[in-house]
Structure 1
Amino acid sequence: MSATNTYMLTCSCAKYPNENHMKVTKPNSKHTHVTRRKASSLIFLLVSSPIPFHAQPAYATESSFLEMFRMTVPDQTVEEAENGIREHATSLVQVKRLLETESWKEAQKELRKSASYLKQDIYTIIQGKPGDERAQLRNLYTKLFNGVTGLDYAARDKDVPRVWILYEDIVVTLDDILSRVL
């Protein structure tokens, strides 16, 4: 065996008689020195990490699994998106009644739910369009959902004037998108 392929163990007992740790070194290379303090810190971090624990086992059904990945893996055709877009756009616009009664939490929940489905529909339709039409539709898509996010924050802050400005912008942008995709 050559000297470069073997590991050398060096006991540090001579330098530090009160410590019982060993150094593992490899000739002509950088070495890693792991002490008990470093190892115990690492173990503490691993043990105290926020790992969810449930008393009963969770069973994933096919539908829950598909819902988890709905936004990342579009499993819908352009025809399905075109059929669902009107319904989801209507539910987004109907958030107005919750905003009028100042039911902020309910409005936020409904806004998030309807916007997520509408987002998937519009994205699928944009992907099915020719390349020269996509740029304009993506800009409108971005404007619409930035407005939805802004409306969500305005509802959270109960900023009534801003809520209505953003709501009107969303309705105008949504009408523009629908006129171009349908």
Structure 2
Amino acid sequence: MSAASTYALSCSYAKYPNENRKKETKLKSKHTHITRRKASSLFLLICSPIPFHAEPASATESSFLDMFRMTIPDQTVEEAENGIREHAMSLVQVKELLELESWKEAQKELRKSASLLKQDIYTIIQAKPGMERAQLRNLYSKLFNGVTGLDYAARDKDVPRVWNLYEEIVVTLDDILSRV
């Protein structure tokens, strides 16, 4: 074969590649493609000093499982039931800061009390029977979507929206507390 015919053959192959070969290439590239996110995660995993001990960690020592504490509440149902009313009252008392239009302080208190209340309600929902969980999850979602909306409304200093969302939060919170 001459050089010109080889060049023409390679150009035609580039225009009309074999379908099977195209699929093979995709499969190979799928497994070898490394994104920046994957590379940085791998780098952090390799470089981070993670304490792996054969014996249980002491109370003052941080362990690998402490990073996942938010998904696995370190709280019993009894503790959640005892704390839910207090945390709900903290959330409702944000009204005083909203009336004074202390927006930053209201946001800080809202976030603090909402995070504690969120953990309490989540723990209680997980302990309920399956039939009750769906209703409580809907109320949980409605409550904390309202809290997020109130946070944004306070940031934007949108007074009518703040009071509308506050009233929705109070009604939803009363509904949740009556079911718990």
CA distance in 2, matches of 1:66, 1:102: 41
Partners of 2:65 and 2:103 in 1: CA distance? 30
Q: Once the two structures are superposed, what CA deviation does each residue of 1:72-123 show, in whole Å capped at 9, x if it has no partner? A: 2211111000000011000000000000000000000000000000000000
SS in 1 for 2:111: helix
Structure 1 partner of 2:152: 153
| CA shift in 2, pair 1:70/1:109, >3 Å | farther
Letter paired with 1:147:
G
In the TM superposition, what are the counterparts of 1:34-113 in structure 2 within 5 Å? 61=60, 69-113=68-112
Moved over 3 A (4+): 65-70
- Provide structure 1 residue ranges, at least 5 long, that are not aligned to the other structure: 1-29, 31-41, 47-60
Gaps of 5+ in 2: 1-24, 26-35, 41-59
Distance in 1, matches of 2:126 and 2:178, equals 17
CA distance in 1 between counterparts of 2:71 and 2:160 reads: 34
Report the Cα distance in structure 2 between the residues aligned to 1:171 and 1:66, rounded to whole angstroms. Answer: 35
Matches within 5 A, 1:14-53: none
Relative to its length, the structure with more helix (as a share) is 2
Higher relative contact order, chain-length normalized (CA < 8 Å, sep 6+): 2
Aligned equivalents of 1:66, 1:113: Cα separation in 2: 23
CA RMSD of the aligned region, Å?
Answer: 2.9
TM-score (structure 1 length as normaliser)? 0.64
Identical-pair percentage: 89
